[in-house]
Structure formats: C-alpha cells, structure tokens
Amino acid sequence: MIDWDAMTARGGASWVESANDPEGGFPLDNLPYCIFSAENGRARPGVRIGSQIVDLERLSRAGLLEDLHSSINAACASRTLNKLMACGTVAHAGLRNRLKTLFDAGADHATRTAVSELLTPVDEAALFKPVDPPDFTDFYASIDHATNVGRLFRPDSPLLPNYKFVPIGYHGRASSIVVSGTPVRRPRGQTKHPLASNPEFGPTRNLDYELEVGLYVGTGNAQGEPVEIALAGDHIFGVSLVNDWSARDMQAWEYQPLGPFLAKSFATSVSPWVVPMAALHPFRVPARLRTPGDPDPMDNLWSATDQYSGAIDMTLEVFLLTESMRAAGTEPHRLSRGNLRDLYWTPAQMIAHHTSNGCNLLPGDLLATGTVSGSEEGSAGCLLELSHGGGKPVLLPNGEKRIALEDGDEVILRGHCRRDGYPRISLGECRGTVLPSS
C-alpha cells in the first residue's frame, strides 16, 4: 500500500525560477507528465516544471535515470505514457524523487547544466495525446449532476433507485479521445423532435460539453481478481481534465435501452498534463458526507482508509470563448466553478466497483468521473444543467445566450488544488473549439 504520509512531503525551491511562483501551478510539488515534441522532433515523454518541459527520453539517455528501475528507462523511449504508467508504484516513486532532486535548488552546478540543456519552454512545445487508453470508462459519480439531469428526463423519479448503491458507469469510446486544442467537428446523427412522427438525420442542434476529471490507471489487475478498495489508490497513476462532448438530442433518441453511444463517441478531449496522484495527496479530504437516510456503501466499496484518502479538494472551472468574443478580443467568460470533492463516489470506489466482477484494468485505462456538478447555482459542469434544460439560457457578458454550443465556441476547462501552506497545483487546461458540421 502507498505510504500516503510520505507523499505529503513538500518540495522546496527549484533552480527553475518559474517553478517557484506559489500561484504558478507547476512547482516542484506538481511535475505532471506529458507527451511533447520540440523543434519538430518526434513525440516523447516529458515532465513539466514551471514554464518548462524536461525531455525524459534525453534525461534517460544522458544516464541521469540510470540507477532507476529499467522499466522506467525503457518507458522514457516510448511515444505514449502507457509504458510509464505500467512501471508500478515503487518505480514511479523512484522517478518522482529523482526528478525532485534534479530540479531542487540545491542541485549542483553540473546537474543544473546537464538538465538545463534538456528543457523546452512549454510555449514552444507541441503537446500530444498523453496516453492511448486501452479502454475508457465514464462514471456518473456526481449525485448533483445525476439528479439535475434525471429531473429533466424523468421529473417523477430524478434519481434512480440504484444510484446510491452502484457507482454507475459505462464503457466509452477510446479511439476518439483527442488532446486539448484539437478542434471538434459538430457531429451528425439521428434526432427526433417530440412532435415529429419520425426521426431526422443531420447535425446535432444540442451540442454540450461535460466537465470531468479523468483517472489514469497505473498498475492493472488480473482478470478475475478484484482490487480491494483499501488498495485501490495504488492503481491510480494520475489525473487529467476531460471534456466529454455530448450531443444531447442524439442522446435522448438513442440511449434506451443500452446507454449513450454516438452522442458521445465522436470526440472526447483530454488535457495534455497527467498530474501524478502523489502531487494531489495534500488535497485529499474525507469522502462527501452521506445525508441522513442514505445507505452505507456496500462492504466492497468501503474502507476506513478510503474515507480519508477518498475525495480530492480540486477546484474545476469552465470558460467559454465565442466567435464574437474572440473577434472583440474579450477574455473567456467563466460559466461555472465546482469542486471534485462534491462527488458521491470516490476514485477508490470507482476502481473497486469496476473490478468487483473480475474485470481487468490495464495500465493507461482512462476512468472519467462523469460531469462534476455541485449543489450551488453556477457549479454545474454542463450547459444542459446551467441552462436548466434549456429553459433558462445562460447569458454571456456581451449579450449572447447559450443553451447549447454554437459553431466557433471554444470550451476551456481548468482545474487546480489549493491549500494553506502549499503551493497551488494546476491541472492546466483542456480546450476545444466547435467546427461546423462538414
């Protein structure tokens, strides 16, 4: 099991000056992984510190990771982070400690010189999809989201009877996951107007975003061997922001009885940075309190450990930049602000539930939380909820209104963790602009 307390140890100052801004988001305590290329070189693993990315492949070749686990050095030559994620918690801790040492303000001159040569400014790097998830699972872990959406579809029974027992999830489409910055084409599909006798086929009229957080699996499990919840944390490598683009009108028509399919599978955006779980430990908080009358989680979904390490205090925001705003030089407008700690189900519960039937997780698998919404006004993670199902359009500062995304709209997800006495930890951004249907 992970020694969580050792994980809380704070990094100090770095000789990379941009890492020392406590509001910068990418201090020695963060060190998120990515796949990047510099000067049109080939894609390779990197780690962000401050405004720089260090080239892991060249770090490995330069012998600076030589004494670490051989799997780490092999993984540094890969074009995705999948192999790195498979190395295991001990090897990951070794790499993280090494990186902290190399970037520490106390590092000797020779180290600084050697490592300095392997840095690329983030602004000059091309960033790629960090992981090729073998499978993608999308949960539905926000009870506020489930209730709000349920109310629109089923006013009489917004929250289904299984919700408080089962961490509801479904299999998503892995092939169409794209990295932040990739434009998203408005999909075509079947929709049916309530008053029409037949459906029609054409571009969706109700395109939405969904603000989610993705958990990347590190070590997997063998088929037939469930992961105990007390050990579930060991199986999560890190997190990213996820935008689960959704065509609501297509979804409403297709989703019975087997769930969402084409309404979601045209594209899912992920942020380029994978923030390791170790960086998030100071922001661990007890799982959301159950309200009186709520059932206790079933035995396989509860452990004393999980009650503490379970939830994460992470601020999540959505911004919108419309074509008119872009033309006018306006800053993106914040649509919502929520917090990951509001989820009904914790990351550890998702892992334990997913594997409870013997299903095998693989390194690099992506488990997204589902839309993260809170109970307060302005904390909902999608336009469907913010606009109360379209009944109350969202008003933008320039007078534009939205109940759904329009062509040219850019959606920007941001996430960060903050706690007194600790530097801010950023997840960066996940951006995507809607292109007209072809």
Catalytic residues: 145
Q: Considering the rule CB under 8 A, would residue 256 count as an interface residue with a second copy?
A: yes
* Residue 342: CB minimum distance to a second copy, A: 20
Q: Considering the rule CB under 8 A, would residue 358 count as an interface residue with a second copy?
A: yes
Q: Considering the rule CB under 8 A, would residue 179 count as an interface residue with a second copy?
A: no
* Residue 57: CB minimum distance to a second copy, A: 25
* Residue 204: CB minimum distance to a second copy, A: 8
Q: Which residue in 155, 292, 293, 295 binds a second copy (CB under 8 A)?
A: 295
Select 153 or 308, whichever has its Cβ closest to a second copy.
Answer: 153
Select 142 or 426, whichever has its Cβ closest to a second copy.
Answer: 142
Segment interacting with a second copy, rule: CB under 8 A, options 16-24, 30-38, 82-90, 192-200: 192-200
Q: Which residue in 169, 214, 218, 415 binds a second copy (CB under 8 A)?
A: 169
With beta carbons less than 8 A apart as the criterion, state whether 53 and 34 touch: yes
Cα 92 to Cα 301: distance, rounded to the nearest angstrom: 26
Q: Which residue in 185, 288, 337, 418 binds a second copy (CB under 8 A)?
A: 185
Q: Considering the rule CB under 8 A, would residue 258 count as an interface residue with a second copy?
A: yes
* Residue 252: CB minimum distance to a second copy, A: 10
* Residue 425: CB minimum distance to a second copy, A: 31
Select 56 or 380, whichever has its Cβ closest to a second copy.
Answer: 380
Q: Which residue in 24, 41, 134, 181 binds a second copy (CB under 8 A)?
A: 134
* Residue 358: CB minimum distance to a second copy, A: 5
With beta carbons less than 8 A apart as the criterion, state whether 245 and 209 touch: yes
Q: Which residue in 12, 63, 121, 224 binds a second copy (CB under 8 A)?
A: 224
* Residue 227: CB minimum distance to a second copy, A: 13
Q: Considering the rule CB under 8 A, would residue 160 count as an interface residue with a second copy?
A: yes
Q: Considering the rule CB under 8 A, would residue 353 count as an interface residue with a second copy?
A: yes
Residue 323: closest CA among 212, 225, 433, 193: 433
Cα 69 to Cα 88: distance, rounded to the nearest angstrom: 10
Residue owning tokens 């699972």: 137
As given in the structure block, the two tokens for residue 155 are 């006013």
Q: Which residue in 174, 287, 368, 425 binds a second copy (CB under 8 A)?
A: 174
Reported residue count of the chain is 438
Q: Considering the rule CB under 8 A, would residue 155 count as an interface residue with a second copy?
A: no
Cα 338 to Cα 214: distance, rounded to the nearest angstrom: 16
Residue owning tokens 């609501």: 248
Q: Considering the rule CB under 8 A, would residue 190 count as an interface residue with a second copy?
A: yes
Give the residues lining the site for a second copy (CB under 8 A).
Answer: 134-135, 140, 150, 153, 160, 162, 165-166, 168-176, 178, 185, 187-190, 192, 198-199, 201, 223-224, 226, 247, 250, 253-263, 265-267, 295, 298-300, 353-354, 356-362, 365, 438
